[in-house]
Amino acid sequence: MSIVVQKFGGTSVADAAKIKNVANAVIREYNNGKQVVAVVSAMGKTTDGLVKLAGDITEKPCSREMDMLLSTGEQISIALLSMAIQEAGYQSISLLASQIGIFTESIHSKARIVDIKTDKLQKHLNEGKIIIAAGFQGITRDGEITTLGRGGTDTTAVAIAAALKAEKCDIYTDVNAIYTADPRQVPRASRLETVSYSEMLELARVGAKVLHPRSVETAKQFNVPLRLRSSFNLDDPGTLVIGDDKMEIHRPVTGIAADLKQVRIAILRVPDQPGVAARIFSTLANSNISVDMIIQSLEEGNLNNIAFTVHENDLNNAIDVLESVRKDINAGEVVVDRNIAKVSLVGAGMVDRPGIAAGMFEAMAEAGINIKMIATSEIKISCLVDKDHAEEALRSIHTKFELDAKAEVQS
């Protein structure tokens, strides 16, 4: 019998009525003759509420205790969903990551899954039970509770689908499909029928909030067919995320997104010597801080300015680390700019089509928006702009590349 993994996000299980609605979506799949594993997030804004609560106690909560706290949200939703399924007359069992054996690295707040045990899952499925698994959480080899990073339930679902060799993984959410841009920022965003793993991965990394980046990475690695669809409209097929080789046409531009949570850090007057950049960035890497958009500009004499962006959550940590490196390498001060946004354009089809970067810069010029930094990869171009210009930049790029739908997205 084939296995289907379904993921339900926080908005889909926000209250008792919605949990019953989700129970129906699960049962519907089960009645299609499938073995079903439903992976669930915490109800509504539960996780945000817990983060806030911790903030009322301390400014710098210990990350181990933070994981202990945040992982509780999913324990509530899985128990309630399992009850709703049982109430409808079906057999089900809710399971925490520790009970399944979802093992992660020993890192708190953004751990990666390293292994998933399938024996228990398989046993329950073979007994005809529907499994309700807690998303977002994991356990280390020595029994510590970890979490996968905000939005991590997507990743739990895809990883379970890969481990069980499931036929498909459906991500149920509160939107109908993946769009060329976030409709809250670009009202005339267009629906996408399909998007490739690589494009989706880039879009998720640059700020499209529809899917957790690591879930797409895992889907790509294990070739898990992934579909994003609405839990409130079960007949809508949503958007299919598939292998790059299965895409028939490569549009020059597939989608755009803005990341408002980046900050720019510059280290001024860095001595121009071999090994200095290696020193700075390996120290950041050793503290688990990812950096993006690195540029080095030549100043007069033998001094450089080095600028890059990090996620705002890593800022305090990054400053601590850089203050000590700066003294060792004899560089000038560390300067931070918080008022920035990274606006990115993604499309697998840009590889052999010239003029995409030029078109993006023209769109910004026409809107009178200043570009502060530029970075490119094979299928992505990113520009740093002032935070309050981000939405206007998105809309202008969207129009420039003829992505606008005829009508605004109804919400």
Phi and psi for 81 in degrees, rounded to 5? -65, -40
Amino acid at 122: Q
- CA–CA distances in Å: residue 331 to residues 99, 276, 293, 347, 366: 50, 10, 20, 39, 38
Size of the site for ligand ASP (CB under 6 A): 12
Closest separation in Å from C-beta 153 to Mg ion: 7
Closest separation in Å from C-beta 47 to ligand ASP: 3
Contact at 8 Å (CB) between 396 and 363?
A: yes
Q: Three-class SS of residue 88?
A: coil
Its sign, for the CA torsion 22, 24, 25, 30, is: positive
**Which helix (H) or strand (E) segment is 194 a member of?**
strand 194-196
Q: Which of 8, 30, 90, 136 binds ligand ASP (CB under 6 A)?
A: 136
Question: Does the protein bind ligand ASP through residue 159 (CB under 6 A)?
Answer: no
Question: Does the protein bind ligand ASP through residue 102 (CB under 6 A)?
Answer: no
Question: β-strand 168-173 against 226-230: which pairing, if any?
Answer: parallel
Question: Does the protein bind Mg ion through residue 10 (CB under 5 A)?
Answer: yes
Which structure tokens are listed for 380? 């992505």
Nearer to ligand ASP, 77 or 92 (CB): 77
Which structure tokens are listed for 129? 């039970």
Contact window for ligand ASP (CB under 6 A) among 18-26, 150-158, 339-347, 363-371: 150-158
Site string for Mg ion, 40-69 (x = CB under 5 A): -x----------------------------
Closest separation in Å from C-beta 48 to ligand ASP: 7
DSSP 33: T
Q: What gap in Å lies between CA 21 and CA 158, rounded to an integer?
A: 22
32-91 positions binding ligand ASP, by CB under 6 A: 41-42, 47, 73
Nearer to Mg ion, 160 or 373 (CB): 160
Q: Which of 94, 153, 218, 396 binds ligand ASP (CB under 6 A)?
A: 153
Nearer to Mg ion, 27 or 169 (CB): 169
Under the rule (CB under 6 A), what is the footprint of ligand ASP?
9-10, 41-42, 47, 73, 135-136, 150-153
